Chain A
Amino acid sequence: EAGVAQSPRYKIIEKRQSVAFWCNPISGHATLYWYQQILGQGPKLLIQFQNNGVVDDSQLPKDRFSAERLKGVDSTLKIQPAKLEDSAVYLCASSLSKRRTLYQETQYFGPGTRLLVL
């Protein structure tokens, strides 16, 4: 079974530029997550989709970050304009769940996109 795919793997941009990341979850997984992981820290959830609807985007900096999952399959995360503090690894994960559950289902993570903002 193919895992979660992400591209690009690395991206270097200058501050104030725009950048987009792409994620293709495991086939059949209804839930998709985007995380930001700053070096030396645990991942921080940015946004969670259930099919093509947003479940939780409370920690997404909406003035510069946006995400979409139009057809309920793959997803894009955009930063516009980027700041120095956005340098991090952006992880995408997916899980099978088709509804909210009391306990967290297994999330399968992609390898991440490492972003460096200069």
Chain B
Amino acid sequence: TQLLEQSPQFLSIQEGENLTVYCNSSSVFSSLQWYRQEPGEGPVLLVTVVTGGEVKKLKRLTFQFGDARKDSSLHITAAQPGDTGLYLCAGNGNQFYFGTGTSLTVIP
């Protein structure tokens, strides 16, 4: 089983602060994705990273794939209340697995 552990599990911050969410595994993945899920809805894909060391930016969100393709991070700059949600990483290896999730609350 390829487990993807995310940290922190819960995060509550003030609007305007920066934050980083981590996604770690002992297994190598051919690709890794990040999703955001809002209450009552399904996850929505934010980004796919494929190459070790790859960095992708999506407005205030920066995603990085570890050099060894075992881990990833999501950094949000100047968080806004609209960023509130459950952030999920998902890895594609022998099988496709979602991580344990990070619940983010941004307080206005």
Contact = CB atoms under 8 A, between A and B. Distances in A.
A14 interface: no
B31 A104 contact: yes
- Dominant secondary structure of chain A at its interface with chain B: loop
Interface string B70-108: 000000000000000000101010011111110100000
Contact of B100 (A41, A93, A102, A110): A41
Nearest to A42: B98
15 contacts: A4-B42, A41-B101, A44-B98, A45-B97, A45-B98, A58-B95, A91-B42, A91-B43, A102-B30, A102-B31, A102-B92, A103-B50, A104-B33, A104-B92, A106-B48
Interface of B: 4, 6, 30-31, 33, 40-45, 48, 50, 88, 90, 92, 95-101, 103
